[in-house]
């Protein structure tokens, strides 16, 4: 049964691309920061991907009147899922994201890397260590600096991104490629550190470490690899400063551990998707993609 639903998902994607084969395409690749888990309405085609119909690719596509959107982003995706079927629950599993690429892809957005780095594992570890040692200043930083895991994962990610960007260029040679960074998750202003603990339960001293040595380093890798491959990096972080997960509802663009809006924990909400779409559109327009 599982083999059958995988085949059906591949055929569904191939059928969709075949229908659009005469059209120029905007193809959206990526993980949950692209797909928009829990933001309603969700796409019922591949329910395990938790793909919102108002995520930033859909918002951007509204103004790309000359291009048809093919959004194959999927929650939990890693770089390896560009070329292999991702195991999701419930079935069907999606086809490899690269199957959506072709000669008629004129614009591609790529939002990937957080799961390769281990966002979920890092978050769970930091919360656990803060709970176990409530008086410790920076137990998560101490743990990861000692074992060097994050440094190693960042180095590995660089190589994986090179492969992904080469793969896009080979499959969609006419496409302008936009690599989309991750928004601000934790506050820049130390004045907001204390109000984080109830909603993002990590040690206060770990906030600057997770912000500067994890997320900003991830964005730096994305920016550098994009430049090395002739792609355009979209900075979503700068505009999102002051809209982190520790802010109040209506101000934050990323939800905390217990969301107060239809978004997954520690993921962009509707405001975050709208803000990301605005940055992506601005970058596209600056690099010759007709908007409006």
Matching residue, tokens 């959107």: 69
Q: Would you call 267 a catalytic residue per the annotation?
A: yes
Q: Would you call 65 a catalytic residue per the annotation?
A: no
* Three-state SS at 54: coil
Matching residue, tokens 């969301």: 259
Helix (H) or strand (E) holding 232: strand 232-234
The DSSP call for residue 182 is P
Task: Give me the catalytic one of 35, 73, 75, 267.
Answer: 267
Tell me the pairing of strands 232-234 and 176-180: parallel
CA 220: distance to chain centroid?
15
Task: Give me the catalytic one of 9, 32, 52, 283.
Answer: 32
How many Cα neighbours within 13 Å face the side chain of 40? 2
Span between the terminal Cα atoms of the chain, in Å: 45
Sign of CA dihedral 172, 93, 277, 268: negative
CA distance 77 to 213: 22
* Six-digit token string for 14: 């191939």
Cα-flanking dihedrals φ and ψ of residue 110, to 5°?
-130, 115
Sign of CA dihedral 206, 211, 215, 221: negative
How many Cα neighbours within 13 Å face the side chain of 143? 21
Enzyme catalytic residues: 32, 267
């Amino acid at each position: 049964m599982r083999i059958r639903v995988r085949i059906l998902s591949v055929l569904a994607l191939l059928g969709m691309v075949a229908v659009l084969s005469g059209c120029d395409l905007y193809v959206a690749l990526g993980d949950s920061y692209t797909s928009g888990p829990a933001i309603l309405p969700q796409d019922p085609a591949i329910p395990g991907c938790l793909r919102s119909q108002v995520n930033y690719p859909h918002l951007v596509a509204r103004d790309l009147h000359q291009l048809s959107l093919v959004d194959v982003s999927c929650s939990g995706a890693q770089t390896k899922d560009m070329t292999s079927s991702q195991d999701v629950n419930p079935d069907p599993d999606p086809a490899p994201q690269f199957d959506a690429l072709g000669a008629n892809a004129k614009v591609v957005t790529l939002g990937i890397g957080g799961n390769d780095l281990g966002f979920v594992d890092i978050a769970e570890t930091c919360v656990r260590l803060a709970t176990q040692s409530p008086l410790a200043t920076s137990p998560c930083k101490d743990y990861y600096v000692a074992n060097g895991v994050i440094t190693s994962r960042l180095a590995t990610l660089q190589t994986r991104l090179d492969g992904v960007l080469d793969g896009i260029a080979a499959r969609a040679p006419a496409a302008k490629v936009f690599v989309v960074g991750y928004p601000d998750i934790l506050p820049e202003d130390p004045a907001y550190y204390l109000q984080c603990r109830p909603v993002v339960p990590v040690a206060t001293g770990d906030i600057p470490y997770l912000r500067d040595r994890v997320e900003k380093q991830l964005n730096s890798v994305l920016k550098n690899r994009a430049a090395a491959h002739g792609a355009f990096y979209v900075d979503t972080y700068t505009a999102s400063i002051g809209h982190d997960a520790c802010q109040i509802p209506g101000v934050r663009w990323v939800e905390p551990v217990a969301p107060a809006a239809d978004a997954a924990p520690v993921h962009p909400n509707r405001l975050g998707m709208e803000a990301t779409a605005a940055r992506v559109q601005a970058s596209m327009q600056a690099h010759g993609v007709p908007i409006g």
